[in-house]
Amino acid sequence: MKISLIQPSRNNLKYLKWSYNSIRKNQGEHQVEICIADDASTDDTWEWCLEMMDKDPLFKAIKNEGPKRLGHTILYDRLINDVATSDVAMIYHADMYLCPNALTSIEKHIKPGTIVSLTRIEPPLHPQGPEKVLWNGGVEPEEFKEQELLDKIKEFTNSEKLTYGIFAPWAFYRKDFQEIGGHDPLYAPQSKEDSDIFNRFQLNGIKFIQTWEGFVYHMTCRGSRRNTLDKAKNIYEDSPEWLAQNQKSTRNFIRKWGHFVMHDPTLIPIVPPKYSVGIIITNCNAQLLELLEPWGENVYIDSYDLLSIPYFEKEKNNTTYDLSRRVLPYDNEKNNEILVEVDPISFNQEDFTNIQRFSQIIQHNGETGSFELGNLKINIIQMNEYQNTLINL
C-alpha cells in the first residue's frame, strides 16, 4: 500500500524525530510518504526537515515562515492537496509511535468511501474510554518503554473486533477528503476542525471503521495543547493559548451546527438537525447577547445601536461569520422558521440548557405551532432541516 502521513508541527522536533523513527522502523513493506509542515517553529524543525529531505526521498516538507501561526486546520489541507502524492493519506500526529502491523490493518479495511482509524494506546493522562487502551508506556520519548509496548501488543490485539468511531490517526482516500472541501478554516488555527469534518463526512455517506489490529502509542496533546516546548506549563495542564482558541472554536462550531460537539461513547459522530432559529430578546443586555448570539441563526435585540457595535468590535477577530447579518434590530423582519422569545428578567439556567438542546427538543417534538418551554416562548413555523447544506465548503 502507498500512503501519505500528514503531520503539521510547531515546536515538536523531539516528537517528530521519535515519530519518524517509529514509522520507518514499523512500516513493513508499505511505501510511506511522510509529509510535514513546519508551522513557524523556533526549535530547528526546518533545519531537520531540510536534512531529512536530502536523506529520505519519501520525506517531504513545507514551511510557514510566520511569524503568525497557521495551525493544523490550514496546514493539514495544504499537505493533503499540494504535497501528498498517494491516493490514501492519514492524519497523523508528531506524538504518535506507529506500532508494527498498523498499516497492514489499515490496508485490510480501507477503500473509497471508508475511513479507518487506528486504536490509540495512551498513558493515563485522560479518562478511560471504550475507543482506546490505557497503558503507561511513558509520557516523553526519552522514557518510552518501547520493548514493553511491543511485548504487550498481542494482549491488546483483537482481530474479531471492529468499532465505528473516528479520531486521529485516521486514514482516508484523498478524493473523499477533497470532495467535501477538506477542513473548514473557520476553526483555524485549531480545535473543533476535526469534529466538524467528521460530521460532514458522516452526512456525505462516508463509513467509519476502527481497527483493533492496528495501534499507535499516543503521548497525547503535544501538538500545542500541552507542549511544554511551546507554551504549556506541563503535560497535565492545557496551555492558555489552547484554552482561548478552544473557546473561540466552540462558539464557531455552535454558530455553524446549532449544538455542541456530539458523539457516542465510541466516538461515532451524532448530528442533530440544523434548523433556522431566530432568538428574540427584549430588554437585552451585553452579557445575554454574548451568551445567546451563537445559538441562533439570527438574534433580534432592542437597544441595537447601544449593544451591537461594542459586541461586533469585541468578537470580530474570533469568527469569520458576518455578525452584522446575525445580530439584527428588534423590529427587523423575522424570516427564521423557528422563533424563540427570551425575557432576561425570567431567563434562567434551565432555559439556557433548553436552548443548548434545542435541536433535539424540536426534533423530538415534531410539530409546528406555538408553545412555552420553561420561560421561553417558542413558535415553530416550519421544521426544514439544513445540516446537509453544511457538507461542502
Question: Do the strands 132-134 and 114-122 form a parallel or antiparallel pair, or are they unpaired?
Answer: parallel
Residue 132 shares a structural domain with residue 212: yes
Average pLDDT, the chain: 95
Give the pLDDT score at 229. Answer: 67
Number of H helices, E strands in the chain: 13, 16
One-letter amino acid of 109: H
Element (H, E) at 8: strand 2-9
Number of domains in the chain: 2
| pLDDT tens readout for residues 142-151 | 999 999 999 9
Of 199, 225, 257, the residue that ends a domain is: 257
Expressed in angstroms, the distance from the first to the final Cα of the chain is 30
Both 32 and 138 in one domain: the answer is: yes
Helices (H), the chain: 13-26, 45-55, 72-78, 102-109, 146-156, 174-179, 193-203, 240-257, 286-292, 304-315, 323-326, 349-356, 358-365
Separation CA 9–CA 45 (nearest Å)? 8
- CB-based contacts of 212, cutoff 8 Å, min separation 6: 119, 156, 157, 158, 159, 161, 162, 163
118 is a domain residue? yes
In terms of residue numbers, what domain contains 339?
277-390
Amino acid at 32: V
* Span of 102-106, 224-228, 256-260, 283-287 with lowest mean pLDDT: 224-228
Shared domain check, 225 and 108: yes
Backbone φ and ψ for 346, nearest 5 degrees, come out as: -100, -10
Are 206 and 79 in a shared domain?
A: yes
CA distance 187 to 47: 29
Mean pLDDT of 209-232: 84
Answer yes or no: is pLDDT of 218 > 70.
Answer: yes
Q: At 183, is the pLDDT very low, low, confident or very high (cuts 50, 70, 90)?
A: very high
| Domain shared by 165 and 137, yes or no | yes
| Pairing status of strand 162-163 against strand 277-281 | unpaired
Whether residue 236 sits in one domain with residue 307? no
Task: Kindly tell me if the per-residue pLDDT of 196 is higher than 90.
Answer: yes
The Cα–Cα gap between 58 and 4 comes to: 9
Query: Within a 10 A sphere around the Cβ of 346, how many other Cβ atoms?
Result: 10
Residues 313 and 219 in one domain: no
263 domain residue, yes or no: no
Residue 246 lies in a domain: yes
> Domain with 104 in it: what CATH number?
3.90.550.10
Neighbours of 151 (CB within 10 A): 10
Instruction: Identify the residue whose cell numbers are 476535526.
Output: 194
Q: Please check whether residue 97 is in contact with residue 18, taking contact to mean a CB–CB distance below 8 angstroms.
A: yes
pTM of the predicted structure, to 2 decimals: 0.96
Phi, psi of 340 (to 5 degrees): -125, 120
